[in-house]
Amino acid sequence: QEQLVESGGGVVQPGRSVSLSCAASGFTFSAYGLHWVRQAPGKGLEWVAGISYDGHDQYYADSVKGRFTISRDNSRNTVFLQMDSLRPEDTAIYYCTRDQAAAGTWGEFEHWGLGTLVAVSS
């Protein structure tokens, strides 16, 4: 059974950094694009970043470009999101999700993690 489990969330001060991880199991990890999608409290879904199956291509929302970095380790079946220069508006539940497209350019997200909460506050 396909499973995605996020970790690394918590409370962090503005301007600081945090790193999220998403451990995958139950499928051929290296065959799929992976993404991070966030949801601020009471708000809608916002796509944050995506990475191709081999890690060669990364994509970012304008709101996080230059501050967040997505990466993956196919030997560990894990995708990461390094979040730097955090702002209060980055406060959200961060979901890891798998794209059906290897290149990660469809947005076909059949499998989701339960999410991890990042709260940016002083």
Residue 121 near another protein by CB under 8 A: no
Site residues (CB under 8 A) for another protein, limited to 4-33: none
DSSP secondary-structure letter at 100?
S
Q: Which is nearer to another protein, 62 or 122 (CB)?
A: 62
SS3 content of the chain, % helix, strand, coil (to 5): 5, 50, 45
Dihedral, 78, 84, 89, 93 alpha carbons, nearest 10 = 20
Tokens of 112: 């989701």
Biggest distance spanned by C-alpha atoms of the chain: 40
Residue 95 near another protein by CB under 8 A: yes
Residue 107 near another protein by CB under 8 A: yes
Q: Which is nearer to another protein, 15 or 106 (CB)?
A: 106
Positions touching another protein (CB under 8 A) are: 35, 37, 44-47, 50, 59-62, 95, 100, 105-110, 112-115
